[in-house]
Structure 1
């Protein structure tokens, strides 16, 4: 019976404010059907309006078109009188105790409710701020990780160009080494050829000197003392004639 009452109330208040949404959610929870897993609208953070602390405003709005403004009050008064007249509920000492406790509770709620609510709201705001801070930190770290990943992908894309440059550098080094070795071989061959040329020049010069010395020795040995005296006298005569010619040129 209670579940049927909830279902009827939920269907009646389905198009109303947050209370209707709450009753619909309760009715869905009472029935284990596949619809219980369907997405529902999020519940509001604050409850709807109430009258006298506990009576929802939707109830007055529901009865207003049929009963007028005093309808809900007459309905509540009639139900109380009916329960008392039929002795469904009997007034005893527990009733006065419950009324006293209820009055104390209402007074405490009216007196300390706003400060407690503000304190609870402050705690909730602190928790939300901490959660937001953690979220922002996580978002920042994830954003940085994404940027780093994009940078690494960009580096990977440029890896082929880097490898090409390294291949070119290696090829240039090999070519340089090859040319250096060719130059070294050329220098070594040139040195050996220069050595052979110098050796041949030395042999030729030594042969010439030996020939000159041999010819000079033979010539000197073939000259007699008389020929030597005549050669010396002729040289002296030639020198004197040359001196006279030089003096004549100077005098002119």
Structure 2
């Protein structure tokens, strides 16, 4: 129980500020474990072993190599005898009060210590569970943030491909517009050339028709009635000769 109290007091001193941190660091120097400058080793979750409720086990281990197993007890007994013999500590009514209070404290610790320790452990477990829940929530949110960041990086990596595709699409649109305009210009030029050719053909046909009508008119105008009769007679004679030749060929 006292070890738990020492552990709780050390934790309180650690969170109390620079003075508490200094006291905790000074208390650590009493242990035989190796120390390092940075980072500071974490505090143990449970206190060290003690004997008789208050005496640290490290003190016994420190005196064993030089004094043996009975050394710590002889040191304590000798120190008590020295204090009493030199009257540094005088036994009076306050000693009885301290002994009574100590007995009551030992009885209370033995009687109620396990239940108080269990209650303290339960509170500690609840705090650890809440801290673990907060940690898990933070870890999940950070993991999701990492996944989102990776996805965004993947999208950024594909941005160059997307931009290339967009550039190709724009280039194809420009090429299509260019070819459409060339085709439109070609059709317009061809239509105008066809118009000019049709106009030339019309002029030529009109000239030919005019020339034919003029020649025909002049020829008709130049024929006299006598020539017309002679021509008709000549035609009749030619038709009769042609009919006889045809009948002769049919008879043969």
TM over 0.5: yes
Equivalent in 100, 108, 127 of residue 104 of structure 1: 108
Q: Structure 1's 183 and 102: CA in aligned 2 closer, same or farther, altered over 3 A?
A: same
Taking structure 2 as the reference length, the TM-score comes to 0.65
> In the TM superposition, what is the alpha-carbon distance from 1:226 to its structure 2 partner?
3.8
Unmatched 5+ stretches in structure 2: 1-21, 30-36
Give CA deviations for 1:165-215 in whole Å, capped at 9, x if unaligned.
73x766665565555545544444443343333333322222221222122
Which residue does the alignment assign to 1:6?
A: none
Which residue does the alignment assign to 1:13?
A: none
Q: Structure 1's 149 and 89: CA in aligned 2 closer, same or farther, altered over 3 A?
A: farther
> In the TM superposition, what is the alpha-carbon distance from 1:108 to its structure 2 partner?
0.8
Aligned-residue CA RMSD in angstroms? 4.0
Unmatched 5+ stretches in structure 1: 1-21, 30-36
Give CA deviations for 1:16-56 in whole Å, capped at 9, x if unaligned.
xxxxxx99821689xxxxxxx86543332322212233221
Q: Structure 1's 190 and 106: CA in aligned 2 closer, same or farther, altered over 3 A?
A: same
Aligned length: 221
Which residue does the alignment assign to 1:67?
A: 67
Equivalent in 127, 132, 136 of residue 133 of structure 1: 136
Q: Is the 8 A contact 1:50 1:57 kept in 2?
A: yes
Which residue does the alignment assign to 1:16?
A: none
Taking structure 1 as the reference length, the TM-score comes to 0.65
Which residue does the alignment assign to 1:115?
A: 118
Is 1:201 the counterpart of 2:183? The answer is: no
Q: Which has the higher contact order (CA 8 A, sep 6+)?
A: 2
Question: Pairwise mapping of residues 204-215 of structure 1 onto structure 2 (< 5 A)?
Answer: 204-215=204-215
Partner Cα separation in structure 1 for residue 24 and residue 173 of structure 2: 81
Partner Cα separation in structure 2 for residue 24 and residue 175 of structure 1: 80
